[in-house]
A and B are shown apart, each in its own frame.
Chain A
Amino acid sequence: MTLREFLSDRLGRIALQLIVIGLAVLFLLATGTQSGILVILLLVLLLVFVSVHVFEFFQQRTRLLELENILEGLDRKYLFMECVPPPKSLYERRLFDLTRRAGRAMTGAVSDAQATQREYREYVERWVHEIKAPITASRLICRDLDGETRRKLMAELVQIEAHVERALFYARAKNPEQDCLLRQVDLGRIAAQAIENHRSLLIQSGVRIETEGLDCTVYTDQKWAVFILGQLFQNAARYRGTKPVITLSAKPLGKQIQLAVQDNGIGIPAHELPRVFDRGFTGSNGRSRGGSTGMGLYLCKKLASFLDLGLYIASQEEKGTTVILTFPAKENLTKL
């Protein structure tokens, strides 16, 4: 609050006071008071009024600063009214009470919403774990079937698993610190695990994978990195061209490690490229082929930001898509 703001706010009152003084002076002049006394009286009155205003200005400014500091220091800002000392004047106290009641209603609504959301997330996580038992059983039962039926069913099971996996990571991305475990992992192991998880999909899509320079270590969460790579493999298999090849090549970049995942698929139109990480964005490729959820890359981006993992995508139509993952150097890890 500046002095100017304060004064313009009080303009009416100050004007009223000046008018009252003016009237008093006129009255005293009319009744024949000596001009010397009049001047002294005028000075005293002005001094009293001005000092009252100055005092109130500083008082209000101090209080506002104090309140701002309280708000700054709060983690959950909506609890502000609960942490503020009540004001002294009657009118302000009434206002304060009203605001506090409104605040309490909102606090209740917020904690209800949080509880609902937490319950829902816990339910999704439990559901994902439970659904895995029948999927496992189905896989085992599939072994007894003959060639073609088995392959088809296995392919469907792979699809189910991919959806389930995305649901799990979607739930996890809401509070990653519970699940994320950053440590030194062999990049080759991450790649091998991701390939193993998508093996039947990749083989059936006729994909060849070439690897280069994966014998290095990175600092990341293995499971999350495997998930991210898996999403890229699923995309590469889904949007493949003829003779699909996925190339995984890693190279150090200072203390970071850059992993390029390159495919020779149908590519992404340039005008859609900036939106591929958006939630639910399927693009023209996704629409024309069907079955796209628009969640894969969105989740990748989200998880990558928790891992301090750089995620960059480049693509050329009919040529292919390259996703570059930049794994952080150990000392740059800030979160978790």
Chain B
Amino acid sequence: MLKIMIIEDDPAIREELALLLENEGYTPLVITKFTDVPSQAAQERPDLILLDIGLPGKDGFSLCAALRKAVPAPVIFVTSRDTGVDEVRALSLGGDDYIAKPYSVPVLLARIKAVLRRSFGKPELADALDAGELRLSLTKGSVSANEKTAELTRNELQILACLMTHAGQIVSRADLIDALWDNQIYIDDNTLSVNMTRLRAKLAEIGLPDAIKTRRGMGYQL
């Protein structure tokens, strides 16, 4: 499990953040004493550091330089000071990313993932997704089953990808819309219905008319 060190002086944020990261499958390392943070970091060997700028005593900027010397882990600044000058300073001091408070949780998690992927060279998402007989090619934008293939539009592709990554689970309409907005497809509820109907028609063409089940009042299930 990847270790993420949280350097944050607000106890409420610190604890909730630790909880959140634990739920997401990371090991949070919480700093509560702000003296000699670099040696604590050197001891714990985190894979990533979340660093607040407004800390008691030494501020995050000067701490960043010391941390850089102590450990090779990438640093994400998390701060409520969001002037352009601060951002430039944070990045020029060797920060890997900069997130302004109050951040939304999905954004924070996405940034953490991106930084980890960049610094550990984790492979990009797979080119193809499989679920049951369905095979979805993300690069070609096509779905195949029973040796038949159908071309998908961008919206249909993202909807199906979201359902396939949660195969077997119920995905609510709100979650689907959320997932589409993540991919910069800004649709509303009606458009989702239209796309869902088209997607089902295409799946029927390749011989899977009932692949996506509607769970009344809850959402969809593959």
Q: Are B80 and A129 in contact (CB under 8 A)?
A: yes
Which residue of chain B has its CB nearest to the CB of A191? B184
Pick the interface stretch among A81-89, A200-208, A282-290, A300-308: A200-208
Q: Are A181 and B84 in contact (CB under 8 A)?
A: yes
**CB-defined contacts of A203 to chain B, threshold 8 Å:** 174, 177-178, 181
Contact of A208 among B82, B101, B186 (CB under 8 A): B186
Q: Are B54 and A129 in contact (CB under 8 A)?
A: yes
Chain A, 192-228, CB within 8 A of any chain B CB = 192, 195-196, 199-200, 202-203, 206-211, 221-223
Contact of B104 among A199, A211, A244, A245 (CB under 8 A): A199
Q: Are B16 and A137 in contact (CB under 8 A)?
A: yes
Within the assembled complex, what's the spacing in Å between the Cα atoms of A317 and B20?
46
Contact of B20 among A140, A208, A209, A222 (CB under 8 A): A140
Q: Are A133 and B13 in contact (CB under 8 A)?
A: yes
Which residue of chain B has its CB nearest to the CB of A139? B102
Shortest beta-carbon distance from B50 to chain A in Å: 12
Q: Are B16 and A140 in contact (CB under 8 A)?
A: yes
Chain B, 160-214, CB within 8 A of any chain A CB = 174, 177-178, 181, 184, 186-191
Is A143 close to B, CB under 8 A?
yes
Which residue of chain A has its CB nearest to the CB of B14? A137
Chain B interface mostly: helix
**CB-defined contacts of B177 to chain A, threshold 8 Å:** 203
**CB-defined contacts of B107 to chain A, threshold 8 Å:** 196
Which residue of chain B has its CB nearest to the CB of A221? B84
Shortest beta-carbon distance from B128 to chain A in Å: 27
Is A136 close to B, CB under 8 A?
yes
**CB-defined contacts of B187 to chain A, threshold 8 Å:** 208
Q: Are A179 and B85 in contact (CB under 8 A)?
A: yes
Q: Are A137 and B186 in contact (CB under 8 A)?
A: no
Chain A, 154-207, CB within 8 A of any chain B CB = 157, 161, 178-181, 192, 195-196, 199-200, 202-203, 206-207
Contact of A181 among B13, B16, B88, B191 (CB under 8 A): B88
Is B1 close to A, CB under 8 A?
no
Is A243 close to B, CB under 8 A?
yes
Shortest beta-carbon distance from A197 to chain B in Å: 8
Is B125 close to A, CB under 8 A?
no
Within the assembled complex, what's the spacing in Å between the Cα atoms of A113 and B98?
36
**CB-defined contacts of B12 to chain A, threshold 8 Å:** 133-134, 137, 140-141
Chain B, 1-47, CB within 8 A of any chain A CB = 10, 12-13, 16-17, 19-20
